[in-house]
Amino acid sequence: MENNANNNVEKPIHRYKLTLEFFGTGLVGWQRQDIGRSVQSILSKAAEKFCQEKVTFYAAGRTDAGVHACAMVCHVDLPKDYSDYRVMDALNFHLKEEPVSVLKSEKVTTDFQARFSATKRYYRYHIINRRGAPTIMANRAWHVKVPLDTDLMHEAAQILVGHHDFTTFRSVECQSKSPIKTLDQLDVRRDGDNIYIDTSARSFLHHQVRSMVGSIVYVGRGKWTKDDLKKSLEARDRRALAHNAPPEGLYFMAVDYPEE
Residue 56 sits in a domain whose CATH number is 3.30.70.580
Bridge partner residues of 164 (DSSP) = 181
* pLDDT for residue 85: 94
* pLDDT for residue 2: 47
Could you list the residue range(s) of the whole structural domain that residue 198 is in? Answer: 120-256
Q: Each residue of 116-145: pLDDT tens digit?
A: 999 999 999 999 999 999 999 999 999 999
124 alpha-carbon distance from chain centroid: 9
* Selection from 94, 86, 125 nearest residue 220 by Cα: 125
* pLDDT for residue 33: 85
Based on the fold, state whether residues 73 and 30 are members of the same structural domain: yes
Global pTM value: 0.93
* pLDDT for residue 62: 86
Based on the fold, state whether residues 237 and 129 are members of the same structural domain: yes
Q: Is residue 157 part of a domain?
A: yes
How many CA atoms does the CB half-sphere of 115 hold within 13 Å? Answer: 9
* pLDDT for residue 172: 84
Picking from 62, 88, 108, the residue at the C-terminal end of a domain is: 108
* Selection from 83, 14, 26 nearest residue 55 by Cα: 14
Based on the fold, state whether residues 102 and 131 are members of the same structural domain: no
Q: Is residue 115 part of a domain?
A: no
* pLDDT for residue 67: 97
Q: Are 164 and 181 in contact (CB under 8 A)?
A: yes
Q: Are 163 and 180 in contact (CB under 8 A)?
A: yes
pLDDT under 70 in the chain at which residues?
1-9, 260
Q: Is 193 a catalytic residue?
A: no
Residues 6+ apart with CB under 8 A from 144: 127, 128, 129, 217, 221
Please state the φ and ψ torsions of residue 150, each to the nearest 5 degrees.
-70, -30
Please state the φ and ψ torsions of residue 134, each to the nearest 5 degrees.
-75, 145
Give the active site residue among 34, 64, 193, 228. Answer: 64
* Selection from 15, 88, 67, 19 nearest residue 244 by Cα: 67
* pLDDT for residue 1: 46
Q: Each residue of 212-231: pLDDT tens digit?
A: 999 999 999 999 999 999 99
What CATH number is given to the structural domain containing 242?
3.30.70.660
Radius of gyration of the chain (CA): 21
